Structure 1
Amino acid sequence: MTERIRISTGSSWEPVVGYSRAIRVGNRVEVAGTTAVRDGKTVGIGDAHAQTVCALEIIKESLEKVGAKLSDVVRTRMFVTDISKWEAIGKAHGEFFRDIRPVATMVEVKSLIEPELLVEIEAVAIVSE
């Protein structure tokens, strides 16, 4: 049986909702929808670029905790509350993935869990062993 490695960021939502920030099974890593929340506070209120950078930094840290790297990411999904901010969000995404170029999806959603959150990002990685 393949070991399941779970990572938590300590978010207050994780135990209430019953999820992990990231899970690695074998060479596959799934990272849950990640927003710009650090220590219970939203980072970059009103700034889609800053929120995207923060979410991607959290994703990077989560990947590293399970032995993966950004270069292992094969897919991202970006849920945004205002698609007109796509360039700022896309620019931040490109700062992390310009040379990696995973498949990516960006869709507008009505809202996220807190009104000040503008972006939520999921990632899938396959670790080259």
Structure 2
Amino acid sequence: MEKQIINTKNAPAPIGPYNQAVLTGNLLFVSGQIALHPETNQLVQDDIKTETRQVMENLKAILTAAGIDFSNVLKSTIFITNMNDFAQINEVYGSYFSDAYPARETVQVAALPKGVNVEISVIASK
């Protein structure tokens, strides 16, 4: 099966040997996004809601580059470093979706890249 690499300057450049997203068939696999601002390459960590919003905006930019939006998301994975932040993360995350929410898991982890508090990846259908 053929794969197409999706990258956009409207989301942070990968910080390792990976791409922002890979499209194969009608499935788009979006790499985990953290709260790096794509223009400044600086972390946005004023508070957990602001951090989560930047993560979601990065995901939105990648989905847009692939010609789709959050309504196409089938599954998401949320990694957080503090489960006490879950309600605030969930509030921001939920505002990007309508009634047809994707499948999801949320996992507390010991640490994330660059010391961030939240990282989210998605799988979408084109």
TM-score (norm 1): 0.86
Q: Sequence identity of aligned pairs in percent?
A: 26
Cα distance in 2 for partners of 1:26, 1:67 equals: 14
The 3 A distance-change label for structure 1 pair 98 and 11 is same
Moved over 6 A (4+): none
Q: Is the 8 A contact 1:5 1:66 kept in 2?
A: no
| Aligned pairs (5 A) from 1:32-51 | 32-38=31-37, 39-45=40-46, 47-51=47-51
Q: Is the 8 A contact 2:55 2:120 kept in 1?
A: yes
TM-score (norm 2): 0.88
Equivalent residue for 1:23?
A: 22
Q: CA RMSD in A?
A: 1.6
Equivalent residue for 1:106?
A: 106
Q: Is the 8 A contact 2:3 2:22 kept in 1?
A: no
| Aligned pairs (5 A) from 1:1-129 | 2-8=2-8, 9=11, 11=13, 13=15, 17-38=16-37, 39-45=40-46, 47-115=47-115, 117-127=116-126
The offset of 1:104, in angstroms, is 1.0
Q: Is the 8 A contact 2:71 2:98 kept in 1?
A: no
Partner of 2:86, secondary structure, is helix
The 3 A distance-change label for structure 1 pair 86 and 11 is same
The 3 A distance-change label for structure 1 pair 95 and 6 is same
Q: Is the 8 A contact 2:33 2:119 kept in 1?
A: yes
Q: Which runs of 5+ in 1 are unaligned?
A: none
Q: Is the 8 A contact 1:22 1:29 kept in 2?
A: yes
Instruction: Tell me the alpha carbon deviations over residues 18-53 of structure 1, each in whole angstroms, 9 at most, x when there is no partner.
Output: 1001111221101101000012201133x1111111
Partner of 2:78, secondary structure, is strand
Partner AA of 2:42 in structure 1: K
The total of aligned residue pairs comes to 122
